[in-house]
Every structure is written in structure tokens, then in C-alpha cells.
Amino acid sequence: MAPQALSGLLDVLRRGLRGGATGEELARRHLEGQGARILAQNFRCRSGELDLVAQDGPTLVFVEVKERHGSSHGDGHEAVGFGKRRRVVRAARLFAARHGLSESAIRFDVVSIDWSAAGPCLRHDKGAFDVDGR
């Protein structure tokens, strides 16, 4: 079995053994606990995918969720590079246009969940990047 396939299989097994929530579910609960209203989860379009879309007061929030099960590739928040940010921005524009929200104030957040033996460590970076992907 190829190393990538084996790694993916191990991730599935770990999730099952935790018997708990995925990173997106943890992020969703966190955002709801902060008072945000979730509008969409796993919105897919030709430009990419939006993990979570939320309403935080008057602000439309597009959330990229990164989950890590080890530190060999760095922390989750470090994995959202320029290319990924650009795809999220393009998908966000399509989401806003489809739902008549193009005039809304927007924000791009990253929620990272880094798993250890002690459990999940959640980090929420509000305004992690702007519409230019910076």
C-alpha cells in the first residue's frame, strides 16, 4: 500500500477511535459558542470548497478549517498558503453572489485543530487573511 493511502487510512481509523467530532464539527461548535450562526458547511463550487460559512453579527465569515494529527508538517494554521487562500476567496465570492450577500462585510478566518494525546487544541485566527489572499 502506498504511504499516502496508508496515512489516509490511519487518519480514518484515528477518527473512529476518538469516537468524537471531526475538526469541522469542533470548529462549528466553537463558532456557535462564540455567537456565530452557521449558514453553510462544505459549500462546493468550481473554484473550490468553503469549510464553514457563518454570520457573526453583520459580518459574513468564511472559515477554513485545518486539522492535524501530528506536528511533522507543522501546525494546522501554517498550512493555509497563498494558493489555498486564493481559492477560498474565489469560492467566497461565488457563495456571496449566489446568496445575494455581495454587499455584506466579510472576514476570512482560519480555525486549526491540532490533536495530541491530551486531545484537541483549537486555535481561531480571526481575519487571518484578506480578499487579496494576504
Sequence spans of domains, the chain: 22-129
> 65-76 burial, b for 16+ CB within 10 Å, e for fewer?
bbbbbeeeeeeb
**pTM for this entry:** 0.81
More reliable by pLDDT, 53 or 15: 53
Q: Residues 66, 74, 133, 43: what is their CA dihedral angle, to the nearest 10 degrees?
A: -20
Q: Where are the beta strands (DSSP E) in the chain?
A: 37-45, 48-56, 59-68, 105-116, 119-129
Place of cell 450562526: 37
| pLDDT classification of 115: cutoffs 50, 70, 90 | confident
Q: Strands 105-116, 59-68: parallel, antiparallel or unpaired by DSSP?
A: parallel
Q: What is the pLDDT of residues 66-95, one digit of tens each?
A: 998 866 566 666 778 999 999 999 999 999
d(CA 113, CA 27): 8
d(CA 115, CA 46): 31
Would you state the pLDDT for residue 19?
45
3-state secondary structure of 64: strand
* CATH architecture, range 22-129: 3-Layer(aba) Sandwich (3.40)
